[in-house]
Amino acid sequence: MISKIAIAYNSKNKAVPKRKPKDIYAEFDSLEIVNAIKKAILICNSKYKVILIRADEECYKKFQKEKPDIVFNIAEGFHGRNREAQIPLILEMLQIPYTGSGPLALSLCLDKAKTKEVLQYYKIPTPRFQVIHSLKDKISKKLRFPIIVKLLYEGSSMGLYNKNIVRNKKELKESVKKLISNYQEPLMIEEFLAGKEFTVGIIGNKPRVLGMIEIYLDKYPQHFDALTYEAKGVRCDDAYSGKPRISKKLQKKICQIALKTHNILQCRDFSRVDIRCDKKGNPYVLEINPLPGISPSMEHISFFPKIARINGINYNRMVKMMLDVSLKRIALEKINLE
């Protein structure tokens, strides 16, 4: 029986350092999300005691003192290329169960290039790419323009501006120079796919597709070639994504690719896979999010709750499902050990 649940989170409300790029906290959760999760958990069972633990340097002691039965983990971590794995690692050390993927999957999936290397090994289609460490790196002749330039370890379109989609060597050099000097982290340059974009929610102990949505880039008030930081800043964006406008056959193919991606990368309980098609309509995996954003806000839509919603699952039920699959997995792991 569980009675105490902790929500581990990073707060956006902390002071933002002055000299950092403006999107440095693009990934952090606001207290609005934490409170929505708490409310949803209490609706599942009003007898649960729900506590909030901020995922900072003090959290180890707090977990140790509070000894929650399970941690609902939405913490992206503060810094470093393994930041999303930090809370799961601490919790493994303390033998406290938690929701979602383990440290290996979280670290791997945060590295967009390593993720793609693993996918390539399993013949999952993903656009051609190269990692760039410095301006001096030679660009592979195999890469075709247009190219998109991304930070290697970030999410939520952090560092991904409209100008990162480049059409020639000159633009590529400018973009690489700017990003390396602003963010001091390696980049990934990747062939740009101009077709439709989708994102697929996965959930379950035996993982299944929760649903998928298409990102309606053509419906944005301004023209965007991709879900850049600028595009994600547009308000009231519920109309800019929805049911996929493609054949059932292609939907099935995309869902199969997403499910394989989740399994290959050893994600657990739930995840969200970003997929985009080329001009001919062939789907490719861009990345997987083992810690998908679950904001309840209708102003800045999170795709995982939206996928649930358009499939008839409201926010509270979605949170219950996430908790339930995690609790069931933990129970199954115990049985397997006995």
Ligand X SMILES: Nc1ncnc2c1ncn2[C@@H]1O[C@H](COP(=O)(O)OP(=O)(O)O)[C@@H](O)[C@H]1O
For residue 189, the one-letter residue type is I
Q: Which listed residue (77, 97, 127, 296) binds ligand X by CB under 6 A?
A: 127
- Of 291 and 319, the one with the shorter C-beta distance to ligand X is 291
CA distances from 312 to 39, 210, 211, 271 (A): 19, 11, 10, 18
Residue 286 in contact with ligand X, rule: CB under 6 A: yes
Q: Where are the alpha helices (DSSP H) in the chain?
A: 31-44, 59-66, 86-93, 103-110, 112-121, 169-183, 229-232, 248-264, 303-310, 315-337
Site mask, ligand X, residues 192-211, x = CB under 6 A? xx---x--------------
Asked if residue 109 binds ligand X (CB under 6 A), the reply is no
Give, as one character, the DSSP assignment of residue 299: S
Nearer to Mg ion, 94 or 125 (CB): 125
Q: Give the binding-site size for Mg ion (rule: CB under 5 A).
A: 1
Query: How far apart (Å, rounded) are the C-alpha atoms in residues 294 and 130?
Result: 31
Interface with Mg ion includes 274 (CB under 5 A)? yes
With binding defined as CB under 6 A, does residue 226 bind ligand X?
yes
287 binds ligand X (CB under 6 A): yes
Determine if 157 is a binding residue for ligand X (CB under 6 A): yes
Could you give the C-alpha distances from 116 to 180, 189, 208, 235, 285, in angstroms and in order? 21, 12, 21, 31, 8
Number of residues that bind ligand X (CB under 6 A): 18
DSSP helix/strand/coil, 150? strand
Binding mask 243-282 for ligand X (x = CB under 6 A): -------------------------------x-x------
- Alpha-carbon distance 329 to 338, whole Å? 14
Site residues (CB under 6 A) for ligand X?
127, 148, 150, 155-157, 160, 190-193, 197, 226-227, 274, 276, 286-287
